Amino acid sequence: MNTETTPTLPQHPKLNRLFRLQYEDAQKTHVLLYPEGMVKLNQSASEILLLCDGTRTVVQIVATLEAKFNAQNLQADVQSMLEEAVRRNWLDDA
């Protein structure tokens, strides 16, 4: 039996204040910095987290990404990434 629960997504996700998202030129990618280290992000994760500024809802984040990349049906992928970010304590609610 799976005892894991799906994390509740914040209404207006924003980065936890213990983390800083920045572009690392040497690695040619965004990274998430925190006191104990660094997480190297892929482009999709970077694009999603860049929109987590506490002003947008998850629906608005999805719509922004779909417009930016001329794509459809990104809801499940974005939600999955945000759920993982919540599990890792990267996100708070505004």
How long a stretch of residues is the chain? 94
Average pLDDT across the chain, whole number? 93
pLDDT for 5 equals 67
User: 74: left (phi > 0), else alpha (psi -120 to 50), else beta?
Assistant: alpha
pTM comes to 0.90
pLDDT for 27 equals 87
The tens digit of pLDDT for each residue in 22-76 reads 999 998 999 999 999 999 999 999 999 999 999 999 999 999 999 999 999 999 9
| Rg, C-alpha atoms of the chain | 13
The tens digit of pLDDT for each residue in 40-50 reads 999 999 999 99
